[in-house]
Amino acid sequence: MSQSLKTILSLRELILSGELKPGERLSELAIVDRLGVSRTPVRTALLRLEEEGLLEAIPSGGYAVRHFSEADIFDAIETRGTLEGLAARLAAERGPSPGQIAEIRGCLRKLDILVQHEIATDTFSAYVELNERFHQLLVGMAGSRVVARQIERAVALPFASPSAFVEVQAVLPESRAILLVAQEQHRSVVEAIERREGARAEALMREHSRVAHRNLVMALEHQNAHDLVPGMALIRQA
Amino acid sequence: MSQSLKTILSLRELILSGELKPGERLSELAIVDRLGVSRTPVRTALLRLEEEGLLEAIPSGGYAVRHFSEADIFDAIETRGTLEGLAARLAAERGPSPGQIAEIRGCLRKLDILVQHEIATDTFSAYVELNERFHQLLVGMAGSRVVARQIERAVALPFASPSAFVEVQAVLPESRAILLVAQEQHRSVVEAIERREGARAEALMREHSRVAHRNLVMALEHQNAHDLVPGMALIRQA
DNA sequence: GCACGACTCTATGTATACAATTGAGCCAAC
DNA sequence: GTTGGCTCAATTGTATACATAGAGTCGTGC
């Protein structure tokens, strides 16, 4: 592994874990001392993490850990939903290949099996993985590099990812109901795409992202769910 | 001006002008020789231009000039329209401040005056400027850092900008009609936002972006319009 | 004659020395 | 007492030397 990649991963971990606090300025030399790499890969990592949205550039030079409000998270989820809605509509309008349809149907079936049973802690990671895969396949079905790239950027923020708040559900009583609703939306959007119903596919993906809105609100209410949200350390209460 | 910024601007110019051809690999040392800066700012510039979408990383290291198909441009415009639609909807739902409304109305009025008369070559730059300003104000009215940032990235591609194809209109007979339609859309979207009509505002901004679609098609048909499109050198015919 | 391997050369990845700018702290003058 | 400016330190911006990996070519062996 390259030193740059190592630095990116280490810094990201430090930021998301809250060890580096929002607003805190990052000195290149301090990182050099901490991680044992030279300034060059550190600079590369800082550039990348700023692009990713975890850091913000200070006008006079250097970077600080970015902080987010509850509204920012809401908007990030809404943005992802909007772009995934665009992807779903394009997929419906353009008509994906039989191979792509078979693939996403297979993914849907595996999710069905998982959701049928009560989901335990150990099967949750399997759910997260399949859920991510579903969203990736859907984006792929739009058949557009440009759209895919834009969505990649939108989900780079840890709490904007399709699976960001899934783990929160594990500790909530409404867990099972939410999963069933989400899975129904998965099924419906695939159906809409197959039938070339663009508007329906778009509306469904938008609404689907709002499951995350709801989970966010619940996570903020339940103190014991806080730790389960990735990047919760970056959230500053208004 | 910093060496990094100088390098970014120079490289961008070289790419957009077509001096560096799509698919061409960029050697750091070659750029050093060409621009007279050291490798460090060159590396910074390459990272930034990759983020911007003008370059793509080569798996084995280094960067190459990215090339785009007509479909890529279409998708980039559609993506911008979708995100600007989101911004317009949020602006309508949240209700912008009186100051923001006054500002965008002022912008609208200036555009009205400009559009009333036949637009000559020298007033075109004023139109482009006001048009950019209108779009920026609209994004600002959504009141979301996250959405604004995402839109910034979407319009970074030269042909995705709201003003990308405006200059094309200068050489087209339909020019005036298109400008009048675009201005009507500007007016309507502001009205919709003021009335808190979110769905209407969103639909209008989406449709507004499709003016660029039309201009793209016309630009591709008319050979003499080619040079007026920024980044046309990056387009590879399928 | 073809294919495989080794070697060389060139490219990027990394480390570090040096330059320049910003920001803070202190002193002095009004 | 406050404000202005100056100096010094610390941090980022820049240049460059060195390490390393990859690609291309030449030679040899089958």
**Residue A118 CB neighbour total at 10 angstroms:** 8
- pLDDT tens track for B16-68: 999 999 999 999 999 999 999 999 999 999 999 999 999 999 988 899 999 99
Point out the residue among B72, B75, B144 whose CB comes nearest to the CB of A75: B144
Q: List all residues of chain A from 116 to 145 with a beta carbon under 8 Å from chain B.
A: 144-145
Does residue A23 carry a pLDDT above 60?
Answer: yes
- Strand D bases within 7 angstroms of protein beta carbons: 10-17, 22-23
The answer to whether the Cβ–Cβ distance between A79 and B150 falls below 8 Å is: yes
**Cα–Cα distance between A7 and A11 in angstroms, integer?**
6
Secondary element (H or E) of residue B136: helix B121-141
Determine whether A4 is exposed, middle or buried from the number of CB atoms within 10 Å of its CB (0-12, 13-18, 19+). middle
Residue A171 has pLDDT above 80, yes or no: no
Is residue A66 very low, low, confident or very high in pLDDT (cuts 50, 70, 90)? very high
Q: How far is the CA of B47 from the C1' of D3 (A)?
A: 44
**pLDDT for residue A57:** 95
pLDDT at res. A232? 85
Least confident of A81-95, A170-184, A201-215: A170-184
Please tell me if residue A48 touches chain B, with a CB cutoff of 8 Å. Answer: yes
Mean pLDDT of all residues in A214-227: 82
Q: How far does the CA of A75 sit from the C1' of D5, in Å? A: 47
Query: Could you give the strand order of the β-sheet that contains A25-26, starting from the edge strand earlier in sequence?
Result: A25-26, A63-65, A55-57
Say if B146 is an interface residue toward chain A (CB within 8 Å).
Answer: yes
Check residue B23 and give its pLDDT.
92
What is the signed CA dihedral for A48, A50, A55, A59, rounded to 10 degrees?
130
Note whether A213 contacts B: Cβ–Cβ < 8 A: no
Instruction: Give distance CA A30 / C1' D8 (Å).
Output: 21
Chain A residues with beta carbon closer than 8 angstroms to that of B144: 71-72, 75
Q: Gap from B60 CA to D28 C1', in Å?
A: 30
Q: Considering only CA atoms, which residue is closest to the C1' of nucleotide C15?
A: A38
Q: Residue A166: pLDDT band by 50, 70, 90 thresholds?
A: confident
Q: Is A63 helix (H, G, I), strand (E, B) or coil?
A: strand
Closest listed residue to residue A55, CA positions, set A23, A18, A13: A23
- B27 C-beta less than 7 Å away from strand C: yes
Per-residue confidence at A176, pLDDT binned at 50, 70, 90? Answer: confident
Q: Does residue B29 lie within 7 Å of nucleic acid chain C, judged by its CB?
A: yes
* pLDDT at position A217 over 80: yes
pLDDT in tens, B216-238: 888 888 877 777 777 888 887 65
pLDDT confidence bin for B176, thresholds 50/70/90: confident
In contact, B150 and B183? CB cutoff 8 Å: no
Probe site for chain A from B28, B67, B75 (most A CB atoms < 10 A)? B75
Smallest Cβ–Cβ distance between B79 and the set A43, A48, A150 belongs to: A150
Collapsing DSSP states into helix, strand and coil, what is residue A229?
A: coil
In this predicted structure, the answer to whether residue B213 has a pLDDT above a threshold of 70 is yes
Check residue A172 and give its pLDDT: 77
**A82 touches B: beta carbon within 8 Å:** yes
Q: What is the pLDDT of residue A157?
A: 94
Residue A26 Ramachandran class (φ > 0 left, ψ -120 to 50 alpha, else beta) = beta
- The predicted pLDDT at position A20 comes to 94
pLDDT digits (tens, 9 = 90+) for B79-122: 999 999 999 999 999 999 999 999 999 999 999 998 888 777 77
CB burial of residue A148 (10 Å; 0-12, 13-18, 19+): middle
| CA–CA separation, A168 and A184 (whole Å) | 19
- Interface check for A153 against chain B (CB to CB < 8 A): the answer is yes
Least confident span in A99-113, A169-183, B64-78, B208-222: A169-183
> In which band, very low, low, confident or very high, does the pLDDT at A125 lie, cut at 50, 70 and 90?
confident
CB pairs under 8 A between A and B: 62
Nearest to A86 among B43, B82, B147 (CB): B82
Confidence of residue A238 (pLDDT cuts 50, 70, 90): low
Under a CB-based contact definition with an 8 Å cutoff, are residues B79 and B154 in contact?
A: yes
Chain B closest-CA separation from residue A186 CA (Å): 22
Q: Does B71 touch chain A (CB under 8 A)?
A: yes
Tell if the CB–CB gap between B83 and A83 is shorter than 8 Å. yes
Angle (CA) B60-B33-A60 rounded to 5° is 80
CA pair distance A135, B47, nearest whole angstrom: 28
Which of A44, A76, A86 is facing B47, going by the closest CB pair? A44
Tell me if A142 sits within 8 A of A94, measured CB to CB. yes
Covered bases, chain C (protein CB within 7 Å): 11-17, 21-23
What DSSP state is assigned to residue A235? B
d(CA B129, CA B19): 27
In the structure, what pLDDT confidence band is assigned to residue B167 with cuts at 50, 70 and 90? Answer: confident
CA distance B46 to chain A (A): 11
β pairing state of B63-65 and B55-57? antiparallel
Task: Considering only the C-alpha atoms of chain A, give the largest distance between any 2 of them, rounded to a whole number of Å.
Answer: 58
